[in-house]
């Protein structure tokens, strides 16, 4: 993700509010609530630079320096089976508050 971000000239400041979109390619396997929480936590840890859990000393450069920058998380289970992307796809974007229709 860091390579893609640098190649496109994309960067985020600590003031930016962000949205994370996560698509998990799981085929027909069921997805329990505990699985959802674990996957989201794994992604948030990695975005913060923790590559082996929040207590690990192993770190990479954080993509999102502060966890409270994330305002929305959208998770979608996909039954697609894509070659070269066996686990999922992550999209990070600036958060835009949505209007509520009435």
In a domain, 24, yes or no: no
In a domain, 11, yes or no: no
| Range of the structural domain that residue 77 is part of | 2-6+30-94
Query: Alpha-carbon distance 17 to 34, whole Å?
Result: 26
For residue 62, the SS3 value is: coil
Task: Give the residue-averaged pLDDT of 23-38.
Answer: 75
In a domain, 13, yes or no: no
For residue 17, the model assigns a pLDDT of 92
In a domain, 74, yes or no: yes
Total domains, the chain: 1
Task: Give the residue-averaged pLDDT of 14-29.
Answer: 84
State the chain's mean pLDDT as an integer: 78
Classify strands 88-94 and 70-78 as parallel, antiparallel or unpaired.
unpaired
Is a pLDDT exceeding 80 seen at residue 92? yes
Is a pLDDT exceeding 90 seen at residue 70? yes
In a domain, 64, yes or no: yes
For residue 72, the SS3 value is: strand
Confidence of residue 67 (pLDDT cuts 50, 70, 90): confident
For residue 1, the model assigns a pLDDT of 61
In a domain, 18, yes or no: no
In a domain, 43, yes or no: yes
In a domain, 23, yes or no: no
Residue 92: closest CA among 23, 19, 40, 3: 19
């Amino acid at each position: 993700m860091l390579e893609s971000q640098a190649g496109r000239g994309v960067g985020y400041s600590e003031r930016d509010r962000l949205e994370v979109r996560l698509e998990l390619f799981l085929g027909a396997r069921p997805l329990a609530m505990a699985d959802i929480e674990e996957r989201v936590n794994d992604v948030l840890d990695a975005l913060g630079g923790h590559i082996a859990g929040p207590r690990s000393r192993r770190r990479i450069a954080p993509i999102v320096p502060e966890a409270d920058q994330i305002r929305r998380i959208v998770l979608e289970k996909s039954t697609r089976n894509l070659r070269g992307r066996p686990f999922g796809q992550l999209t990070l974007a600036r958060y835009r508050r949505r209007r509520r229709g009435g």
